[in-house]
Amino acid sequence: MDVTILLSWIVGFVWLATVLWVAWTVINSARNKPIKSGVAITIGLVVLALVLTLVNSGLVFIQPQELGVVISAFAPNGYRQEPLKPGLSWVIPFFEKVEIYPIFYETYTMSIAPEEGQRIGDDSIYARTADGQEILVDASVIFAVDPEQVIRVHILWQDRYQEELVRTQARSIIRDAVSQFNVNEVVTTKRFELIDMINKDMSSALGENGLLMVDFVIRNIAFSPEYAAAVEQKQIAEQQSQQAELLVEKKKQEAEQARQQAQGAADAAVIIAEGKAAARILEAEAEAKALKVQAQVLKDNPDLLTYVYITKLSPNVDVMFLPSDSPFIFPLPETSELPTFESESTPTVEPTEETTTEPQP
């Protein structure tokens, strides 16, 4: 708790006790019942109250985030040359007073939103770009009182430095900076350059008046309804153009995919055809070799063909009769499966016109 606040309560309690004691003393005197040492006690209470009041008026407690400028009737310039540091200090009661100034970071916001800024309602900054477009800038200035120049701030601005210095300088510098850029540059490529320029100019303007520039923040940039509509139409056109390019690229990819598939099918057909051709060649070579071997075997064994022919006949045929005028006579080789006939004992039957031959069962 602040010591001066506690002392103020004590002073108030002492004065209240003094008044009640005086009233009680007067009432008893009126009843002819004077209180012993009443006058002395009354004087003592009054003196104590006055002393405590003087002490309370002379004690000043400065918070850690504050400095105090002492306005003095005894100082040559009307104020002490050094501000009061944080802690408990003493000033001459009734002849000196202390003005408290914060040295922590303060923020002044100018915004289009009704309740965001220091002022209620639209407090955004109207500025015109180099190409004639009007924009609305929401911004915040973060600053602090320079501890080394707090007396200068009091002399020049007192408690008006937020409204009359920070706000006024910020609006003027922002307008001047925006006027050096085109509207597209403000929101895209040159935005950080714009912020750096404003920050530099604000630092110079505030520094000359005893304030420290901490940071400058552009919260939002809004456009006029006409320009916003034009920007929206441009974005729509760009999106449609991008979609058309994507569609063309998709068609190209599909065509390339189809071409690759066709090329793959053609390559596969060629490979299959080459495989079939190679197989036919191998098959023909094998058949040629087989025929060559068969021809050589038949050449060495002429009766082999007759044997093969007979073996291909029906297994139920044991004897075959041929017409007498048939030019084909096949000599039958001896086999284990066929019956053996002797040529000298076997008569030869020649068919005539009157004679008919019947196959034996």
Coil/strand/helix, residue 117: coil
Give CATH superfamily name and number for 106-223.
Band 7 domain (3.30.479.30)
Q: Do residues 136 and 178 make contact, with C-beta atoms less than 8 angstroms apart?
A: no
The pLDDT tens digits of the residues spanning 229-286 come to: 666 676 667 777 887 888 888 888 888 888 888 888 888 888 888 888 888 888 888 8
Residues contacting residue 154 through CB under 8 Å, at least 6 positions apart: 69, 79, 99, 101
Q: Which of 185-199, 204-218, 241-255 has the lowest average pLDDT? A: 241-255
**Residue 152 pLDDT exceeds 90:** yes
**Residue 323 pLDDT exceeds 50:** yes
Q: Tell me the sheet residues that pair with 222.
A: 136
Looking at residue 361, its pLDDT comes to 38
Looking at residue 342, its pLDDT comes to 43
Q: Do residues 91 and 60 make contact, with C-beta atoms less than 8 angstroms apart?
A: yes
Q: Do residues 360 and 339 make contact, with C-beta atoms less than 8 angstroms apart?
A: no
What does pLDDT average to over the chain?
A: 81
Instruction: Enter the tokens of residue 268.
Output: 């596969």
Q: Do residues 250 and 196 make contact, with C-beta atoms less than 8 angstroms apart?
A: no
Please report, rounded to a whole number, the percentage of residues in the chain having pLDDT higher than 90: 31
More confident residue, 327 or 42: 42
Coil/strand/helix, residue 73: coil
Where in the chain is CATH 3.30.479.30? 106-223
| CA separation for the pair 108, 259 (Å, rounded) | 66
Q: What's the average model confidence in pLDDT over 325-333?
A: 53
Coil/strand/helix, residue 124: coil
Q: Give the H/E segment covering residue 128.
A: strand 125-128
The pLDDT tens digits of the residues spanning 87-113 come to: 988 899 889 999 999 999 999 999 988
DSSP 188: T
